A and B are shown apart, each in its own frame.
Chain A
Amino acid sequence: MSSRGASALLSRASRIRSKLQTALEATVLEVDDVSYQHAGHAAVKGSSDKETHFNVKIVSPKFEGQSLVKRHRLVYDLLAEELQSGLHALSIVAKTLHETNPNK
Protein backbone atom coordinates (compact mmCIF):
# COMPACT_ATOMS: atom_id res chain seq x y z
CA MET A 1 0.00 0.00 0.00
CA SER A 2 1.55 3.24 -1.13
CA SER A 3 1.36 6.50 0.75
CA ARG A 4 -0.70 9.35 -0.63
CA GLY A 5 2.26 11.47 -1.66
CA ALA A 6 4.05 8.62 -3.38
CA SER A 7 1.13 7.89 -5.68
CA ALA A 8 2.06 10.86 -7.86
CA LEU A 9 5.37 9.16 -8.66
CA LEU A 10 3.87 5.82 -9.64
CA SER A 11 3.22 5.01 -13.27
CA ARG A 12 -0.37 4.98 -14.41
CA ALA A 13 -0.16 1.20 -14.78
CA SER A 14 0.82 0.88 -11.13
CA ARG A 15 -1.95 3.20 -10.01
CA ILE A 16 -4.52 1.29 -12.06
CA ARG A 17 -3.33 -2.03 -10.65
CA SER A 18 -3.37 -0.72 -7.09
CA LYS A 19 -6.87 0.76 -7.31
CA LEU A 20 -8.39 -2.31 -8.93
CA GLN A 21 -6.70 -4.80 -6.61
CA THR A 22 -7.69 -2.91 -3.48
CA ALA A 23 -11.35 -2.56 -4.44
CA LEU A 24 -11.97 -5.83 -6.26
CA GLU A 25 -9.76 -8.32 -4.37
CA ALA A 26 -9.00 -9.88 -7.74
CA THR A 27 -7.75 -13.44 -8.07
CA VAL A 28 -6.48 -12.50 -11.53
CA LEU A 29 -5.43 -8.99 -12.50
CA GLU A 30 -3.67 -8.24 -15.77
CA VAL A 31 -2.94 -4.62 -16.68
CA ASP A 32 -1.41 -4.18 -20.14
CA ASP A 33 -0.27 -0.84 -21.51
CA VAL A 34 -1.06 -0.91 -25.24
CA SER A 35 -0.58 2.81 -25.82
CA TYR A 36 2.01 2.16 -28.51
CA GLN A 37 -0.72 0.66 -30.70
CA HIS A 38 -2.60 3.96 -30.69
CA ALA A 39 0.32 6.34 -31.07
CA GLY A 40 -1.11 7.90 -34.21
CA HIS A 41 -4.63 8.14 -32.86
CA ALA A 42 -6.02 11.49 -33.98
CA ALA A 43 -7.79 12.18 -30.71
CA VAL A 44 -4.61 11.86 -28.66
CA LYS A 45 -2.27 13.80 -30.93
CA GLY A 46 -0.42 16.39 -28.94
CA SER A 47 -1.03 14.64 -25.66
CA SER A 48 2.14 14.71 -23.59
CA ASP A 49 0.94 11.78 -21.51
CA LYS A 50 2.03 8.50 -23.10
CA GLU A 51 0.08 6.07 -20.93
CA THR A 52 -3.23 6.44 -22.72
CA HIS A 53 -4.51 2.97 -23.66
CA PHE A 54 -4.79 -0.07 -21.41
CA ASN A 55 -6.25 -3.55 -21.59
CA VAL A 56 -7.32 -4.92 -18.22
CA LYS A 57 -8.40 -8.44 -17.38
CA ILE A 58 -9.94 -8.95 -13.95
CA VAL A 59 -11.26 -12.04 -12.20
CA SER A 60 -13.08 -11.05 -9.02
CA PRO A 61 -15.90 -12.25 -6.75
CA LYS A 62 -17.26 -8.69 -6.82
CA PHE A 63 -18.63 -9.37 -10.31
CA GLU A 64 -20.93 -12.15 -9.14
CA GLY A 65 -24.47 -11.52 -10.35
CA GLN A 66 -23.49 -8.35 -12.19
CA SER A 67 -24.28 -7.67 -15.85
CA LEU A 68 -21.45 -6.79 -18.21
CA VAL A 69 -22.49 -3.14 -18.25
CA LYS A 70 -22.46 -3.00 -14.45
CA ARG A 71 -19.06 -4.67 -14.26
CA HIS A 72 -17.53 -2.28 -16.76
CA ARG A 73 -19.16 0.70 -15.06
CA LEU A 74 -17.73 -0.46 -11.74
CA VAL A 75 -14.24 -0.56 -13.24
CA TYR A 76 -14.69 2.84 -14.88
CA ASP A 77 -15.86 4.33 -11.58
CA LEU A 78 -12.76 2.99 -9.82
CA LEU A 79 -10.56 4.57 -12.49
CA ALA A 80 -12.51 7.83 -12.87
CA GLU A 81 -9.54 9.89 -11.70
CA GLU A 82 -7.28 8.29 -14.32
CA LEU A 83 -9.87 8.84 -17.05
CA GLN A 84 -9.99 12.52 -16.13
CA SER A 85 -6.22 12.93 -16.12
CA GLY A 86 -5.18 11.43 -19.44
CA LEU A 87 -6.28 7.79 -19.61
CA HIS A 88 -7.90 7.70 -23.02
CA ALA A 89 -9.28 4.21 -23.55
CA LEU A 90 -9.71 1.06 -21.57
CA SER A 91 -10.51 -2.45 -22.82
CA ILE A 92 -12.09 -4.50 -20.07
CA VAL A 93 -12.48 -8.24 -19.52
CA ALA A 94 -14.32 -8.77 -16.23
CA LYS A 95 -15.17 -12.27 -15.03
CA THR A 96 -15.99 -14.23 -11.90
CA LEU A 97 -13.86 -17.22 -10.95
CA HIS A 98 -16.67 -19.55 -11.99
CA GLU A 99 -16.69 -18.07 -15.48
CA THR A 100 -13.00 -18.80 -15.95
CA ASN A 101 -13.36 -22.41 -14.70
CA PRO A 102 -16.86 -23.50 -15.73
CA ASN A 103 -16.10 -27.16 -14.98
CA LYS A 104 -15.38 -26.62 -11.29
Chain B
Amino acid sequence: MATSLSNMFLKGIAARSLSRPLNGLFYCTRYSTTVSNDSDTHDDFKPANKLENSGISLSNVIEQDVKDNPVMVYMKGVPDFPQCGFSSLAVRVLKHYDVPISARNILDDPDLKNAVKAFSNWPTFPQIFIKGEFIGGSDIVLNMHQTGELKEKLKDITSKQ
Protein backbone atom coordinates (compact mmCIF):
# COMPACT_ATOMS: atom_id res chain seq x y z
CA MET B 1 0.00 0.00 0.00
CA ALA B 2 2.59 2.57 1.07
CA THR B 3 4.95 1.47 -1.69
CA SER B 4 2.34 1.71 -4.42
CA LEU B 5 1.30 5.09 -3.08
CA SER B 6 4.90 6.25 -3.27
CA ASN B 7 5.16 5.13 -6.87
CA MET B 8 2.08 7.12 -7.76
CA PHE B 9 3.50 10.42 -6.65
CA LEU B 10 5.79 12.59 -8.69
CA LYS B 11 8.92 14.00 -7.14
CA GLY B 12 8.09 17.49 -6.07
CA ILE B 13 10.07 20.60 -5.37
CA ALA B 14 12.00 20.32 -2.13
CA ALA B 15 9.84 21.70 0.62
CA ARG B 16 11.00 24.71 2.50
CA SER B 17 10.59 25.11 6.20
CA LEU B 18 9.66 28.44 7.68
CA SER B 19 12.61 30.79 7.91
CA ARG B 20 11.80 31.80 11.47
CA PRO B 21 10.77 28.70 13.40
CA LEU B 22 9.74 28.94 17.02
CA ASN B 23 12.49 28.86 19.64
CA GLY B 24 15.11 29.35 16.97
CA LEU B 25 15.32 25.63 16.24
CA PHE B 26 15.39 25.15 12.50
CA TYR B 27 16.00 21.47 11.85
CA CYS B 28 15.98 18.51 14.14
CA THR B 29 17.12 15.03 13.15
CA ARG B 30 15.41 11.97 14.51
CA TYR B 31 18.31 11.13 16.78
CA SER B 32 18.41 14.48 18.47
CA THR B 33 14.68 14.78 18.96
CA THR B 34 13.52 14.76 22.53
CA VAL B 35 10.06 13.26 22.66
CA SER B 36 8.04 14.62 25.53
CA ASN B 37 6.54 12.22 28.02
CA ASP B 38 3.01 13.44 27.58
CA SER B 39 0.83 11.63 25.10
CA ASP B 40 0.91 13.45 21.81
CA THR B 41 -2.86 13.27 21.65
CA HIS B 42 -3.66 14.92 24.96
CA ASP B 43 -6.09 17.69 24.30
CA ASP B 44 -8.23 19.61 26.75
CA PHE B 45 -9.65 21.81 23.97
CA LYS B 46 -8.95 24.94 25.97
CA PRO B 47 -7.48 28.02 24.27
CA ALA B 48 -3.74 28.29 24.63
CA ASN B 49 -2.83 31.70 25.94
CA LYS B 50 0.63 30.96 27.23
CA LEU B 51 3.08 33.65 26.21
CA GLU B 52 6.31 32.93 24.40
CA ASN B 53 9.46 34.91 25.14
CA SER B 54 8.56 37.22 22.31
CA GLY B 55 5.39 38.16 24.11
CA ILE B 56 3.20 36.82 21.31
CA SER B 57 0.80 34.06 22.24
CA LEU B 58 1.15 30.75 20.44
CA SER B 59 -2.38 31.00 19.09
CA ASN B 60 -1.38 34.27 17.42
CA VAL B 61 1.70 32.58 15.95
CA ILE B 62 -0.49 29.85 14.48
CA GLU B 63 -3.02 32.36 13.19
CA GLN B 64 -0.20 34.21 11.44
CA ASP B 65 1.27 30.94 10.12
CA VAL B 66 -1.91 29.80 8.41
CA LYS B 67 -2.61 33.29 7.09
CA ASP B 68 0.85 33.89 5.61
CA ASN B 69 1.52 30.43 4.15
CA PRO B 70 -0.88 29.09 1.49
CA VAL B 71 -0.03 25.51 2.47
CA MET B 72 0.78 25.11 6.17
CA VAL B 73 1.41 21.74 7.81
CA TYR B 74 1.86 20.99 11.51
CA MET B 75 3.53 17.62 11.53
CA LYS B 76 5.87 15.20 13.26
CA GLY B 77 9.27 15.92 11.78
CA VAL B 78 9.90 18.17 8.81
CA PRO B 79 8.85 17.64 5.17
CA ASP B 80 12.25 16.23 4.18
CA PHE B 81 12.41 13.98 7.22
CA PRO B 82 8.97 13.03 8.54
CA GLN B 83 8.94 11.04 11.78
CA CYS B 84 5.49 9.53 11.45
CA GLY B 85 3.79 7.58 8.68
CA PHE B 86 0.77 9.85 8.69
CA SER B 87 2.84 13.05 8.46
CA SER B 88 4.90 11.41 5.73
CA LEU B 89 1.77 10.47 3.77
CA ALA B 90 0.34 13.99 3.95
CA VAL B 91 3.60 15.53 2.72
CA ARG B 92 3.91 13.02 -0.12
CA VAL B 93 0.40 13.85 -1.29
CA LEU B 94 1.07 17.59 -1.16
CA LYS B 95 4.39 17.23 -2.96
CA HIS B 96 2.45 15.78 -5.88
CA TYR B 97 1.38 19.37 -6.54
CA ASP B 98 3.77 22.11 -7.46
CA VAL B 99 3.19 24.26 -4.38
CA PRO B 100 5.45 25.52 -1.59
CA ILE B 101 4.91 23.58 1.64
CA SER B 102 5.51 25.37 4.92
CA ALA B 103 5.73 23.28 8.06
CA ARG B 104 6.43 23.25 11.76
CA ASN B 105 7.66 20.24 13.68
CA ILE B 106 5.35 19.77 16.67
CA LEU B 107 7.72 17.25 18.22
CA ASP B 108 10.08 20.15 18.90
CA ASP B 109 7.63 22.04 21.05
CA PRO B 110 4.89 20.49 23.24
CA ASP B 111 3.36 23.91 23.81
CA LEU B 112 3.03 24.45 20.07
CA LYS B 113 1.46 21.01 19.72
CA ASN B 114 -1.17 21.78 22.33
CA ALA B 115 -1.82 25.23 20.90
CA VAL B 116 -2.44 23.81 17.41
CA LYS B 117 -4.89 21.23 18.79
CA ALA B 118 -6.82 23.98 20.54
CA PHE B 119 -6.69 26.23 17.48
CA SER B 120 -8.21 23.66 15.13
CA ASN B 121 -10.18 21.61 17.66
CA TRP B 122 -8.51 18.52 16.22
CA PRO B 123 -6.64 16.04 18.40
CA THR B 124 -4.13 14.42 16.05
CA PHE B 125 -1.27 15.22 13.65
CA PRO B 126 -0.53 16.03 10.89
CA GLN B 127 -2.86 18.99 10.51
CA ILE B 128 -3.05 20.72 7.15
CA PHE B 129 -4.22 24.26 6.45
CA ILE B 130 -4.69 25.60 2.91
CA LYS B 131 -5.20 29.33 2.34
CA GLY B 132 -6.12 29.77 5.99
CA GLU B 133 -8.69 26.98 6.01
CA PHE B 134 -8.28 23.91 8.21
CA ILE B 135 -8.37 20.90 5.87
CA GLY B 136 -7.89 17.97 8.24
CA GLY B 137 -5.40 15.14 8.65
CA SER B 138 -3.70 12.74 6.25
CA ASP B 139 -6.86 10.66 5.65
CA ILE B 140 -8.76 13.68 4.40
CA VAL B 141 -5.91 15.07 2.33
CA LEU B 142 -5.49 11.69 0.63
CA ASN B 143 -9.22 11.46 0.00
CA MET B 144 -9.29 14.97 -1.49
CA HIS B 145 -6.34 14.05 -3.70
CA GLN B 146 -8.21 11.00 -4.98
CA THR B 147 -11.42 12.92 -5.70
CA GLY B 148 -9.66 15.85 -7.36
CA GLU B 149 -10.76 18.36 -4.71
CA LEU B 150 -7.19 19.01 -3.66
CA LYS B 151 -6.11 19.93 -7.17
CA GLU B 152 -8.98 22.38 -7.36
CA LYS B 153 -8.13 23.93 -4.00
CA LEU B 154 -4.44 24.29 -4.84
CA LYS B 155 -5.03 25.49 -8.38
CA ASP B 156 -4.49 29.21 -7.87
CA ILE B 157 -1.53 28.63 -5.57
CA THR B 158 0.23 26.77 -8.35
CA SER B 159 -0.54 29.51 -10.83
CA LYS B 160 1.23 32.07 -8.65
CA GLN B 161 4.55 30.29 -9.08
A interface residues (Cβ-Cβ under 8 A, vs B):
37-38, 41-43, 45-47, 68-69, 72-73, 76, 80, 83-93
Shortest Cβ distance from B135 into A: residue: A69
Known: A42-B33, A69-B134, A88-B41. A80 touches B83 (CB 8 A): no
Contact: A76 with B122, CB < 8 Å? yes
Known: A69-B136, A83-B41. A42 touches B35 (CB 8 A): yes
State in angstroms the CA–CA spacing of A43 and B86 once bound together: 12
The secondary-structure label for the interface of chain B is loop
Among B59-67, B137-145, B153-161, the one that faces the other chain is B137-145
State in angstroms the CA–CA spacing of A76 and B123 once bound together: 7
Contact: A68 with B143, CB < 8 Å? yes
Inter-chain CB contacts under 8 Å: number: 64
State in angstroms the CA–CA spacing of A84 and B155 once bound together: 37
Known: A43-B76, A83-B123, A84-B39. A72 touches B86 (CB 8 A): no
Q: With contacts A83-B41, A83-B43 known, what are 14 further pairs, Cβ within 8 A?
A: A37-B85, A38-B85, A42-B30, A43-B35, A72-B137, A72-B140, A80-B43, A83-B39, A84-B41, A84-B42, A84-B43, A89-B84, A89-B124, A92-B139
On chain B, which size bracket covers the interface?
20 to 34
Contact: A89 with B43, CB < 8 Å? no
B99 sits at the interface (CB 8 A)? no
B interface residues (Cβ-Cβ under 8 A, vs A):
30, 33, 35, 37, 39-43, 76, 83-86, 107, 121-124, 134-137, 139-140, 143-144
- Complex contacts, A37 vs chain B, CB 8 Å: 85
Contact: A76 with B124, CB < 8 Å? yes
State in angstroms the CA–CA spacing of A69 and B107 once bound together: 24
Shortest Cβ distance from B141 into A: residue: A68
Contact: A43 with B107, CB < 8 Å? yes
- Complex contacts, B124 vs chain A, CB 8 Å: 76, 83, 89-90
Instruction: For the complex of A and B, list the 3 residue pairs with the smallest distance between their C-beta atoms, beginning with the closest.
Output: A83-B41, A69-B136, A68-B140
Known: A42-B83, A76-B122. A91 touches B35 (CB 8 A): no
Contact: B136 with A68, CB < 8 Å? yes
Distance (whole angstroms) from the CB of B110 to the closest CB of chain A: 11
Distance (whole angstroms) from the CB of A54 to the closest CB of chain B: 12
* Contact pick for B39, options A76, A88, A92, CB 8 Å: A88
State in angstroms the CA–CA spacing of A38 and B40 once bound together: 14
State in angstroms the CA–CA spacing of A45 and B40 once bound together: 12
Shortest Cβ distance from B138 into A: residue: A91
